[in-house]
Amino acid sequence: MPAEYSRRAVLGQIALGGALATAGPAGHAFAALDDRPWFFLTDNEARWLAAIVDVFIPADEYPSATQAGVVDYIDFQMATHYGKGARLYLQEPFSQGAPEQGYQAPCPPAELLRRGIAAALAEGDVTAQDAAGRERYVQAMSEAQGNIDDSDVPVGTFFTELLSLTNEGCFADPIYMGNNAYAGWEMVGFPGAHAYYLSFVDKHNRPFDKPPMGIAHGEYPHTFPRIVGGS
């Protein structure tokens, strides 16, 4: 997909803007930029997402959501079968589902995301606001009633999907394009998949001090540049 700016430039602007807005760390070792194009997002969609997800997970001693690769994760997922709703039943009639039933929108996640962001951008540019303004914006969105544009998709469904994707992008295994250098796992102290801990099963009541390891880390450390030891 042609883009006005390179993906590296967009993510660089996102990182700089987030640092200036929050007055937090300007850069972080977990940040990983490359020159590949977006899989699904446009530059403007990526900027909007970055402004929102960094309210969900702001930078402190650990990376923000964008620094942890959440925008990359969402971009990738929207281009997959998940984003296209390949395993969702999307035929009418639609009825109001219960929260415990999971995703209930009458359109695939990628369409939900695109329509929701377009409706938000039509109302103003949240990326130009400071950190406090972005927090107020996200709080208002979390409490909003009504539907996206002229559809029958509730704003609440859009917000819930954004929050869910942010959590996934921060804490999923890096092979899914998020959790740069195990930023999310470092944050919560999760050690990952050390060969299913077979060499540790007989050791008890000892601290586990090894760094996190993802599914593909041991066998293919250079295939996934977002994991420790990658290229």
Cα–Cα distance between 110 and 121 in angstroms, integer?
A: 16
> Would you mind telling me the total number of residues written for the chain in this entry?
231
Q: How many domains does the chain have?
A: 1
Cα-based distances in Å from 91 to 104, 107, 154: 12, 9, 18
Instruction: Of 70-74, 91-95, 180-184, 210-214, give the lowest mean pLDDT range.
Output: 91-95
Q: Is the pLDDT of residue 32 over 50?
A: no
**Residue 30 and residue 63 in contact, taking contact as beta carbons nearer than 8 Å:** yes
Domain membership flag for residue 205? no
Domain membership flag for residue 32? yes
Q: Is the pLDDT of residue 171 over 70?
A: yes
Instruction: Of 53-57, 79-83, 126-130, 152-156, give the lowest mean pLDDT range.
Output: 152-156
**Residue 85 and residue 104 in contact, taking contact as beta carbons nearer than 8 Å:** no
**Residue 184 and residue 171 in contact, taking contact as beta carbons nearer than 8 Å:** yes
Domain membership flag for residue 223? no
Q: What is the mean pLDDT of residues 207-216?
A: 82
Q: What is the mean pLDDT of residues 40-46?
A: 93
Domain membership flag for residue 101? yes
Domain membership flag for residue 198? no
Confidence of residue 229 (pLDDT cuts 50, 70, 90): very low
Q: Is the pLDDT of residue 26 over 50?
A: no
Domain membership flag for residue 206? no
DSSP three-state, residue 128: helix
**Residue-range definition of the domain harbouring residue 30:** 7-190
Instruction: Of 63-67, 164-168, 223-227, give the lowest mean pLDDT range.
Output: 223-227
Q: What is the mean pLDDT of residues 20-44?
A: 57
DSSP β-bridge partners for residue 147: 154
Name residue, tokens 């959590």. 167
Domain membership flag for residue 230? no
Domain membership flag for residue 154? yes
Could you tell me which residue, 74 or 153, shows the higher pLDDT? 74
All residues at 6 or more sequence positions from 112 whose CB lies less than 8 Å from its CB, including other chains: 105, 148, 153, 157, 158, 161
Cα–Cα distance between 198 and 215 in angstroms, integer?
A: 14
Residue 48: the pLDDT is 94
Q: What is the mean pLDDT of residues 111-124?
A: 91
Give the highest mean pLDDT range of 9-13, 122-126, 166-170, 190-194: 166-170
Residue 23: the pLDDT is 36
The number of angstroms, rounded, from the C-alpha of 198 to the middle of its chain's C-alpha atoms is: 31
Task: Please write the tens of the pLDDT for every residue from 68-101.
Answer: 999 999 999 999 999 999 888 888 777 777 777 7
Question: pTM (2 decimals)?
Answer: 0.79
Arithmetic mean of pLDDT over the chain: 79
